[in-house]
Amino acid sequence: MEIQKTSVLSATSSGQSLSRLLSQLQPGYSLDAVVTAKLAENSFVLKLSSGQLLHAQTPNVLELGQILKLEVVKAGTVPELKIIVAPRAAPPGQAAVLQALRQFLPKQQGLADFAVSLRQIAALTAGKSDAVSATIHEALGALLSKDDLMSAEGLKRGVSNSGVFLEAKLANLAVTLQGDLKGHLLTLADALQKNQGNAGLIHAAAGQAADPASAKTLPDMLAGAVDKALLNKTEGAIARIVLDQLASLPQNDDKQNVWQIEIPFTDGHHTDAVKLKINREGKANQAGDQANWSVVLELNPPGLGTLHSRISLVGDMIDTYFWSDKQTTTALVREHLALLSARYTQAGLAVGQLNALDGTPVHAKSTGPSLPSTLLDERV
């Protein structure tokens, strides 16, 4: 149950039976009640389980029919009662989502960090032909390069293979799974787990046949540590993709309006990830209506700091804003806005607002993937 520790309910009523009841109340005594009416902004009528009506003043936001448990804080003619709000059962679908949040939120790690570790370990396993090494290199092959993402076809492939759509692909047998990042991560995690299990059995057998102190060599220990570290990174990357999938779920209107995606990529020796949030803010339902799309980007170009961008498209009109935490980067972007405008025009788009600003946009989230507000209870 959620306890509103700072909320105190002052109760008044002229009923004699209620007066007798309240006169007997001592601090710590609890009562059950239900909200039956709203008299004013902070004034409600509560019905106790014993049948008496209670006029209550409280800063809490109460709803008709809401069941409450009241605890006496202060006795007297006008007692003060603390409200303890009974929990509401989450709908079955939302309960499953909340369970997934509890499972994956603590484990999530950035995809850029995973990609860095993957490239480092792939270099160590170059030339090896065992199953784990082969799986590592297959996962590495799923990473796109920066040049790939610079083309429309490459970006489309990066979004499709980001892992966010894996389950949708599984439901459509006509769609290929090759190159899907989440699919590769799940395969890699499975191979690493099996390898650790097999290594444990081998060492146990060796320990029975020989000196236990020499059963596990230094190379074995190092290899096991590398596998364990990569498994931790892989599971963290899977958790991040799952959180992006949860953030992309249809909301109250059951319409798909938001896709949250992170795409790791390579740029020479540098490894990073681009974050996209695609919003469908309008839909062409009738003749004359125009769809309104926006894409929010977050990039970390080497030496330029964090760069955010919001691109909005209404019909053929496109607006673009950039934000940077470095003034030198903002100035650099401004110098190239004319080139961007020309590229938009070549693509057949009408150019609206183009601007580069210092600072961080309101929509930026520095603590990881954003999640639907309906899934988060700020009172917890």
Same structural domain, 121 and 195: yes
Into how many domains does the chain fold? Answer: 3
> Would residue 151 count as lying in a domain?
yes
What average pLDDT score do residues 109-120 get?
94
Number of alpha carbons in the 13 Å side-chain half-sphere of residue 246: 28
Same structural domain, 137 and 243: yes
Q: Which residue has the higher pLDDT, 238 or 107?
A: 238
Same structural domain, 229 and 326: no
Burial class (CB in 10 A: 0-12, 13-18, 19+), 368: middle
Q: pLDDT value at position 176?
A: 75
> Would residue 263 count as lying in a domain?
no
Q: Mind listing the pLDDT tens digit for each residue in 29-40?
A: 777 777 778 888
What average pLDDT score do residues 79-103 get?
71
Residue 1 CB neighbour total at 10 angstroms: 7
List the domain range (segments joined by +) for residue 63.
2-85
Same structural domain, 175 and 213: yes
By the 8 A CB rule, do 60 and 7 touch? yes
> Would residue 378 count as lying in a domain?
no
Indicate the residue among 227, 247, 267 that finishes a domain.
247
Q: pLDDT value at position 145?
A: 95
Same structural domain, 123 and 243: yes
> Would residue 376 count as lying in a domain?
no
User: What is the Cα–Cα distance from 282 to 278, expressed in whole angstroms?
Assistant: 12
Indicate the residue among 193, 226, 247 that finishes a domain.
247
Same structural domain, 99 and 80: no
Same structural domain, 217 and 285: no
Angle 85-76-30 (CA atoms, 0-180°, nearest 5)? 30
Q: Mind listing the pLDDT tens digit for each residue in 211-232?
A: 555 455 545 556 677 888 999 9
Q: Residue 149 — very low, low, confident or very high, per pLDDT cuts 50/70/90?
A: very high
Indicate the residue among 202, 223, 247 that finishes a domain.
247
Same structural domain, 316 and 287: yes
Same structural domain, 110 and 235: yes
Its pTM stands at 0.68
Residue 365 has pLDDT above 80, yes or no: no
Same structural domain, 182 and 228: yes
Same structural domain, 28 and 155: no
Same structural domain, 216 and 111: yes
By the 8 A CB rule, do 81 and 72 touch? yes
